[in-house]
A and B are shown apart, each in its own frame.
Chain A
Amino acid sequence: MTEQCPAPARDSRSAGTDSPLALAARDLVYEIDGTRIIDGVAIGARRGEFIGLIGPNGAGKTTLLKTVSGLLKQQDGAVWLQGTDLGEMSAGDVAKVLAMLPQLTPYTFGFTALEVVMMGRYPHMGRFQVEGAAERRLAIEAMRLTETDAFVERTVASLSGGERQRVFLARALAQQPKVLLLDEPTANLDVQYQLKALDLVRSLVGEGMTAIAAIHDLPLAARYCHRLVLMSKGRVLAEGTPETVLTPQNIEEAFGVRAVVYPDPLTGALTLSLVGPTHPDEATARGVRVHVVCGGGTGGRMMYELLRAGFEVTAGVLGAGDTDRRAADIMGVEYVPAPAFGGIDDDAHAAHLGLLDAAEVVVLCETPFGANNLRNLEALRGRSRLLTIQTRPFAERDYTGGEAQRLFDGLAPIARCAGPDEALAAIDETTRPSESDREGASEKGT
């Protein structure tokens, strides 16, 4: 008796054919001692789809994989494997269709790598059948794909963690599954094999296999998976294409870190830089706004460090195509846009002055000045809490024939710093509440 296979609870735009779901689950609940590890999860994986499960430790990714593979029995909800209720399938029937690569490479008791890989053929063999040439060939082929064919005669115990991981991947492949579940498949692998392993899964998915992988490396997940499912506290927080799931808001909510997300310039896949954990009570995160005047790649690092330290950051006028403008975009820093080499018109200048007025501290980076951006310097005139970063004489970056030098000399910075770290310390010093303020605050607090 087979129940009708349901549509996934939340549809997504990927692999948008009406191909049947290879694996589907609805309203899944799994709890241990009253604690819900999985709390009402729905998931649907189409044929030929690679789904990445992401989320912080303890989000329920491994438990979800074990539940949908039948290793754990859910308390509520249902799982369908190729349209059949998993609860009505025997372990042997499941094993013919679904393979699972476990997270930790288990105890192996003296088996050789080949013996372990050939175990992947057991579900397809009769009880009285032993592995013959065909099974051996399939096993060796799987080992070749995972580049473990050199270990055929080695005992698994003598292999490194990464080598074992690949041997067990080979076993999962030897199982010739329609659905492959992988729990942190790249955890023990070095960079080269992380990419190779996922390339391999991706190519098998291209041939019609379905893969669901729990992956903690978000850029890898974004790069290889068709869809991502972001889990947090046993629930699905977001689901869809990497672009829709990997937003700074989602990441902050799930992982508690601020991140900047941007397309990798080489692969085009989303990548991200973590800005730092969110510490709402941290001393530096006081909502102090710092304005950075920069351009030509001189301000990226400064903005990044300020964000990391918890400051609100704005930037001056940045022309199209400017490296610092791209950095500001990635980090979500507000700035005044201007066309490339178009100079700063009055509107932009006025907007810039507005940002400057709203900032508590202003940092002038070691930016070269020419006619195009000279008004960025002009806007600083008369600013009181100004810091400059300066390692070389200003004349070396004056491309205005002295006008910039004149404006620069008219500034009265409170500090001249050698780099972002020094500047950060100075800003911290400038913006910290005075001793008396702090005492007053602590008296109030107690």
Chain B
Amino acid sequence: MGIFARKAIGSYRTASVTARLAVGAGALGVLVLSAAIASLALGPLGIPVSHVAAIVLDRVGIDVADFTITEKLVVEQLRAPRILVGGLVGMALGVSGAALQGLFRNPMADPGIIGVSAGGATGAVLSIALGLNTLFFLALPLFSFAGAMGAAFLVYGIAAVGGRVSMPTLLLAGVAVSSFLGAVVSAVIVMVPADAALREILFWLAGGLDGRTWEHVRIAVGPILVGVAIITLLSRDLNLLMLGDEEARSLGVRVRLVRPLILATAALVTGTAVAFSGTIAFVGLVVPHMLRLLFGPDHRVLIPLSAAGGALFVVVADTIARTAVQPTELRVGIITALVGAPFFLFLLIRNKRQAEAF
């Protein structure tokens, strides 16, 4: 990095929390909005951006006309809910990644890598296998949440010896828990009768944001926004927790309460995200890292921006997935993995070079 870039970053790194938050939120807000509008305009059915704008404006009572009913319905009923679910899922994964990294004091923590997503998937599969999802529409999200929570506390219990979590332990615990849960899912698939449930499981496991409706938006929005709000409120405590439990405690953090609360909330948002999109990897890793490079590690900045950044990443990735190989679709997870996996390796290599990466 050039000295000027360093200087530029340095100067706004020391800008106040409010200033950094304002700059970041402004920039990301514009990007998210643009991505959403672009995504609304892209699809198998060619709808001009001007029509999309007119449809959006029509919603708020501004009549600039010039669109067909079908265009309006496609934008409002098909594309909009999918973008919103994608945005919510991205928010959830971005925030949960940032929170887990702070909580584990480990830059590699990510709901996918440490097995929390796998836990959510296992819960979801169990709810389908037991037929509960057909009896009660919230069964799948609830089971997914429970699974994510179980995996989170399991990995934490294994890896967090004395508060600090070493990188190899964390990654290995994540691998172990993920493979264990993978085995559970395989066993469920074998044991489930070859009927609708099995098909549902097999197709659910493929993941993706296909066919998301306003109903999905309505169910997902509550837990995810509440979870993001809780973690945002605890972001100052996360700052202190990152320096160590004793540090945090001596600066007034109720460590024994806040730690499990953050872990459970991260599991809540991850579990909800998994329930509505399957496992989408690497969002929680890539987004907080980029933002940390740009805006520093302060969670009061990082958490809200990770929400916006996660939403941006998933919406863009899903738009690419939806449109890259038209008329068929790719899974959004393929796009996030294509970006995320090399980034993950880059971080591993960089970490190897520098004992303390940050």
Contacts and interface: CB of A to CB of B under 8 A. Distances in A.
B297 interface: yes
A99 B247 CA distance: 10
B329 interface: no
A200 interface: no
A96 B239 CA distance: 18
Contacts of A116: 243
A256 interface: no
Given A110-B292, A152-B14, A155-B358, A130 B300 contact: yes
Contacts of A114: 14
A193 B358 CA distance: 27
Given A130-B16, A155-B358, A122 B250 contact: no
8 contacts: A71-B249, A102-B246, A106-B243, A107-B244, A112-B13, A112-B296, A122-B252, A157-B358
A52 interface: no
A248 interface: no
B240 A122 contact: yes
Interface in A99-120: 99-100, 102, 106-112, 114-116, 119-120
A406 interface: no
- Give the size range of B's interface with the partner: 20 to 34
Interface stretch (A86-94, A289-297, A428-436): A86-94
B356 interface: yes
B243 A69 contact: no
B296 A119 contact: no
B240, B243, B249, B296: most-surrounded residue (chain A CB, <10 A): B243
B243 A153 contact: no
Given A115-B296, A153-B10, A71 B252 contact: no
B13 A153 contact: yes
Interface of A: 66, 69-71, 90-96, 98-100, 102, 106-112, 114-116, 119-120, 122-123, 127, 130-132, 136, 152-153, 155, 157, 175
B298 interface: yes
A157 B297 CA distance: 13
A57 B328 CA distance: 69
B253 interface: yes
B236 interface: yes
Given A107-B105, A111-B297, A130 B17 contact: yes
B105 A109 contact: yes
Given A155-B358, A157-B358, A107 B250 contact: no
Given A71-B249, A102-B246, A122-B236, A110 B358 contact: yes
B249 A70 contact: yes
A96 B252 contact: yes
Nearest to A123: B252
Interface in B215-245: 233, 236, 239-240, 242-244
B17 A153 contact: no
A62 to B, nearest CB: 11
A175 B296 contact: no
A108 B357 CA distance: 10
Contacts of A100: 246, 250
Given A107-B105, A107-B242, A127 B250 contact: no
B338 interface: no
B16 A111 contact: no
Given A71-B246, A107-B105, A119-B240, A130 B18 contact: yes
Contact of B247 (A70, A102, A115, A155): A102
A159 B11 CA distance: 18
A71 B240 contact: no
A119 B10 contact: no
Nearest to B17: A130
